[in-house]
Chain A
Amino acid sequence: MILNRAVKPTPNKNILFELPQIEKFRLQNGLEVLFIQKKKLPIIRLSLIVNAGSKFDPDNKKGLSNLLAMVIDEGAGKYSALEISEEFDTLGANFAVNSNHDKIYLTLQTLTENFDKALELFCTVVTAPHFSDEDFLRQKRKTLTHLLQLKDDPEEIADTVFSYVLFGEENPYAFPTSGYDDHIENISVDDIKDHYKKYLTPDNSTLVVVGDASVKELIEKLDYHLGWWKPEGLHFKLNFNTKESANQIFLVDKKDSVQTEIRIGYPSSRRNIENFFSKLVLNTILGGPFTSRINLNLRENKGYTYGASSSFGYLQESGFFIVSTSVGIENTANAIKEILDELTKIREGITDTELEFAKSFLVRQFPSSFETYRQISSNLTTMVIHSLPDNYFNTYLENLQRISIKDVNKAAQENIFAGNLSIVIVGDKEKLLPQLTSSNFGNIISTDYIGKATIK
């Protein structure tokens, strides 16, 4: 029999996917725990999500929460900075502290056989950090040098400037988590201690656990190690406005660049159950996966770039829309024009084929987003950050299936704009200016590496 290769194979059966069960409970001190049991491998992954991101940094101390994250594991309890690291290494456990605008994350991944010891260390770091002068000053110097290095990286510059011009000076999401050097100079070890005392509390945190453990065991062990970590009864909420403006180009001169980094966008709605799924389907068509409109146009059709994408970004208390790419200098204006055209075009409506493709992509990839311990933990983290309902994942597929072409076209009308854009360009100004002035995308403002206007 000769094989007919022209026919694309189609599946003859359905798959069965069982969503893992989420357990939610509180410790005696009030700390909320979200837990998914997974026994495939002898691994436990644990992540403490603290509501203490850089959005809480005081006005003249941008970088405070990041510095706190940098110094919290530099000595705690009976251990020095080096001893903590040594203990985790002896256990073969991975421990890391990270921060972003919304949260500080303390994350541990360990083999089950070493869970008790690793957990004890983890809890020591959370509840009894030293914050010694010596450790603080070393990490402060390290951060200052790191800020210097960020000036080298065109992608980093583009992202920093984009946030700054997008949100505007009054908004805490406008500032980079890593802070500013002159602000960091202002920060003292007492600031760090105060910040820790105020924000690192059980009632301002959530613990996410995934792995080879049981609820009973977790409650026992966590109550034992975290029992004397006490709530402060403080609650933090920020209020601020986002700004609107006409099309503006923010041009950052990076002399001798051989590519141009481009970011285009505007503030958008924060994550909410009403429009999340229609925006998700919309962006899947516009700029999400490889075969979305923007990437196919800029990469596979025009060859301007190695890749281009768009996304709706969701912060806890805000949101934005962004298109990002990096293109050859000579194609900078062309690429911007194509992106603006795509934004205009998607407002004219999508096709049934596009809708079916996007839904099929999103629905069918759902099981594989629960594969690794890290992925499951990050799904739970998303629930925490955006206060998603307990049945969020149980109703995820229904919510997607329900999206109609009308919903997507409405989402495009409400969420995609081809005007009032912030356009950030990082590249060789001398080579870029002629293209940009003749294309007339908007007023051109030169800025420095952090987004402040330099010359008109």
Chain B
Amino acid sequence: MDLLNLNYEKYKLQNGLEVILYRDNELPIVTANIWFRTGSANEKVGKTGIAHLFEHMMFQGSVNVPKEMHFRFIQEAGGNLNGSTSTDRTNYFEKVPSNFLELILWLESDRMGFFIPALTQEKLANQIDVVKNERLERYDNQPYGLAWEILISSLFPKNHPYSWATIGSLEDITSFTIEDVRSFFEKYYSPANASLVIAGDFDPVEAKELTKKYFSEIPSKNHFEELQIKPATLAENKFIVHKDNVQLERIYLAWHTECAYSEDDAALDILTDLLTGSKTSRLYKKLVFEQEVAQEVTAYQFSGKFAGYFVVIATAKPGIMLTELKEKIFAEFENIKKNGINENELLRSKNGIKSGFIYSMQNIDSMADQLNSYNYFLNEPNSFNYDLSRYENVRVENLLNLFEKYLSKPFVELHVIPETEG
């Protein structure tokens, strides 16, 4: 599709920073989006959460930007900003009126190159408090809020980089020192370990000059050793019961799959849609619509740089046993294996994915982030058409193979039940 074939320019500064330029002059706004190729996968047991805490520290100012002023300068320009940490990467982004491009490049380069001298114990102590509250608010105090952590720590072996949550454990979060923050920065926050996307309304000549002006003097650091992760497997099924302050019981089933962009990655995504993506999807229709044994059901496929997993989550209607939901989920798997998948079902999923690609192009921030994502995983920012073709090429037999290859292997079964029970 022509619409998905983007014109862009990509080059490298001498210090190794990758720069990707993508112009879209529809509105007078411009965004900068930086990916550092590090995330919670680079942490160690006992130091979980450092990548995310570090992301917070990056908003606490740098040599030429006092505390709070990073936010203030961008908001004064009418911009918005944020960052996020995942298992594999940490991103930082802001969107401003296009005449403020230089401002955001100045800010991003100052914290990429001149962060450490501005780091203080006071700032760290404050952000440890903030992140502690973030964890308590968004995980511990949420219904079913700890389920994910329990699930992944059961699915992966103890030292596997996906076995802990990105937010980190409360104990680890409170233990971090200035030295932890400093050494994380020295190891992973090198220009050679980052890529910068500038997207929106800008003059390419000017953007290149500004990028050179602000980023080229930042020295690159020694390259760290890439993680070597063996594929994780489960020897046998694991069964866990967790009590929580909730009204309804919920079951989680999780299997190992494969890394992002591997052979079956797209088929697994389509399978989640066929199972629970719509009212007519297999599990939704049976469990929620027809039999009303579940209030909701979701299939989810995570695929990252080092591993992947497939999860089915179902919340039981009052009085329904989780074992019954489990049986019905597996019965539907058997039904699909035996009777196959209708071409129309597959077509509906593919049509949804195709229009989803176009809907996602409305927003320059998400375009910039996607360009960085393709660059990170595929080394080619203009991969929208390739990505779409991965889905369009999935055939019924690819989907049926997934059951044998992944979903008949050992799995983790987690039951979250109300505290008052048992």
**B180 is an interface residue with CB less than 8 A from chain A:** no
Indicate which residue in B134, B352, B363 contacts A306 across the interface (CB closer than 8 Å): B134
A154 x B141 contact (CB < 8 A): yes
Per-residue contact bits, chain B 199-223, to A (CB 8 Å; 1 contact, 0 not): 0000000000000011001000000
B284 to chain A, nearest CB (A): 10
| A-B contacts, 8 listed (Cβ < 8 Å) | A3-B213, A82-B289, A89-B280, A142-B295, A151-B247, A259-B140, A365-B78, A368-B95
Known: A326-B133, A328-B136. A85 touches B78 (CB 8 A): no
B143 x A258 contact (CB < 8 A): no
Per-residue contact bits, chain A 355-379, to B (CB 8 Å; 1 contact, 0 not): 0010011111111101111100000
B214: nearest chain-A partner, CB-CB: A3
- In the bound assembly, the distance between CA atoms of A40 and B363 in angstroms comes to 11
B27 x A371 contact (CB < 8 A): yes
B318 x A148 contact (CB < 8 A): yes
Known: A9-B102, A148-B248, A305-B130. A371 touches B29 (CB 8 A): yes
- In the bound assembly, the distance between CA atoms of A124 and B20 in angstroms comes to 46
The DSSP consensus for interface residues of chain B is helix
Interface members, chain A 151-187 (any B CB < 8 Å): 151-154
B203 to chain A, nearest CB (A): 10
A43 x B359 contact (CB < 8 A): yes
- In the bound assembly, the distance between CA atoms of A374 and B213 in angstroms comes to 37
A11 x B279 contact (CB < 8 A): no
Known: A42-B358, A152-B247, A303-B129. A82 touches B280 (CB 8 A): yes
A305 x B133 contact (CB < 8 A): yes
Indicate which residue in B76, B279, B349, B354 contacts A360 across the interface (CB closer than 8 Å): B76
**A24 is an interface residue with CB less than 8 A from chain B:** no
* Residues of A contacting B351 in the complex (Cβ-Cβ under 8 angstroms): 89-92
B140 x A258 contact (CB < 8 A): yes
* Residues of B contacting A367 in the complex (Cβ-Cβ under 8 angstroms): 27-29, 97
A306 x B110 contact (CB < 8 A): no
**B84 is an interface residue with CB less than 8 A from chain A:** no
**A111 is an interface residue with CB less than 8 A from chain B:** yes
Indicate which residue in A6, A93, A145, A258 contacts B248 across the interface (CB closer than 8 Å): A145
A375 to chain B, nearest CB (A): 9
Indicate which residue in A40, A90, A305, A366 contacts B347 across the interface (CB closer than 8 Å): A90
Number of A-B pairs whose CB atoms are under 8 Å? 201
B191 to chain A, nearest CB (A): 15
Per-residue contact bits, chain B 96-122, to A (CB 8 Å; 1 contact, 0 not): 111110110010001000100000000
Chain A interface size range: 35 or more
B280 x A141 contact (CB < 8 A): no
Known: A82-B279, A153-B143, A259-B140. A357 touches B72 (CB 8 A): yes
* Residues of B contacting A259 in the complex (Cβ-Cβ under 8 angstroms): 133, 136-137, 140-141
Indicate which residue in B99, B125, B317 contacts A145 across the interface (CB closer than 8 Å): B317
**B386 is an interface residue with CB less than 8 A from chain A:** no
Indicate which residue in A90, A153, A299, A366 contacts B348 across the interface (CB closer than 8 Å): A90
- In the bound assembly, the distance between CA atoms of A141 and B318 in angstroms comes to 11
Per-residue contact bits, chain A 222-257, to B (CB 8 Å; 1 contact, 0 not): 000000000000000000000000000000001111
B78 x A363 contact (CB < 8 A): yes
* Residues of B contacting A111 in the complex (Cβ-Cβ under 8 angstroms): 355, 358
- In the bound assembly, the distance between CA atoms of A5 and B126 in angstroms comes to 27
- In the bound assembly, the distance between CA atoms of A303 and B355 in angstroms comes to 43
A368 x B29 contact (CB < 8 A): yes
A259 to chain B, nearest CB (A): 4
* Residues of A contacting B72 in the complex (Cβ-Cβ under 8 angstroms): 291, 357
User: Considering the complex of A and B, which 8 residue pairs feature the smallest CB-CB distances, nearest first?
Assistant: A364-B78, A303-B129, A92-B355, A152-B143, A11-B99, A85-B279, A365-B78, A15-B28
B131 to chain A, nearest CB (A): 8
Interface members, chain A 125-156 (any B CB < 8 Å): 138, 141-142, 145-146, 148-149, 151-154
A40 x B26 contact (CB < 8 A): yes
Indicate which residue in B75, B102, B347, B361 contacts A11 across the interface (CB closer than 8 Å): B102
A6: nearest chain-B partner, CB-CB: B64
* Residues of B contacting A149 in the complex (Cβ-Cβ under 8 angstroms): 143, 247-248, 295, 315
Interface members, chain A 9-35 (any B CB < 8 Å): 9-17
B63 x A5 contact (CB < 8 A): yes
- In the bound assembly, the distance between CA atoms of A258 and B137 in angstroms comes to 8
Most buried by B among A9, A111, A149, A374: A9
B349: nearest chain-A partner, CB-CB: A89
Indicate which residue in A41, A86, A366 contacts B3 across the interface (CB closer than 8 Å): A41
A92 to chain B, nearest CB (A): 3
- In the bound assembly, the distance between CA atoms of A148 and B29 in angstroms comes to 44
Interface members, chain B 299-342 (any A CB < 8 Å): 315, 317-318
* Residues of B contacting A40 in the complex (Cβ-Cβ under 8 angstroms): 26, 362
A326 x B137 contact (CB < 8 A): yes
- In the bound assembly, the distance between CA atoms of A162 and B292 in angstroms comes to 33
* Residues of B contacting A86 in the complex (Cβ-Cβ under 8 angstroms): 278-280, 348
B363: nearest chain-A partner, CB-CB: A372
**A419 is an interface residue with CB less than 8 A from chain B:** no
**B237 is an interface residue with CB less than 8 A from chain A:** no
- In the bound assembly, the distance between CA atoms of A263 and B354 in angstroms comes to 42
- In the bound assembly, the distance between CA atoms of A17 and B98 in angstroms comes to 11
Per-residue contact bits, chain B 230-257, to A (CB 8 Å; 1 contact, 0 not): 0000000000000001111000000000
- In the bound assembly, the distance between CA atoms of A42 and B358 in angstroms comes to 8
A137: nearest chain-B partner, CB-CB: B292
**A122 is an interface residue with CB less than 8 A from chain B:** no
* Residues of A contacting B410 in the complex (Cβ-Cβ under 8 angstroms): none
* Residues of A contacting B110 in the complex (Cβ-Cβ under 8 angstroms): 5
B7 to chain A, nearest CB (A): 15
**B47 is an interface residue with CB less than 8 A from chain A:** no
Besides A8-B73, A326-B133, 9 new A-B residue pairs in contact (Cβ under 8 A), listed by A number: A17-B28, A40-B362, A89-B349, A91-B351, A149-B143, A256-B245, A296-B68, A306-B137, A362-B78
Known: A138-B289, A300-B68. A5 touches B114 (CB 8 A): yes
Per-residue contact bits, chain B 135-165, to A (CB 8 Å; 1 contact, 0 not): 0111011110000000000000000000000
- In the bound assembly, the distance between CA atoms of A56 and B183 in angstroms comes to 60
**A277 is an interface residue with CB less than 8 A from chain B:** no
- In the bound assembly, the distance between CA atoms of A259 and B170 in angstroms comes to 14
* Residues of A contacting B247 in the complex (Cβ-Cβ under 8 angstroms): 148-149, 151-152
Per-residue contact bits, chain B 267-284, to A (CB 8 Å; 1 contact, 0 not): 000000000001110000
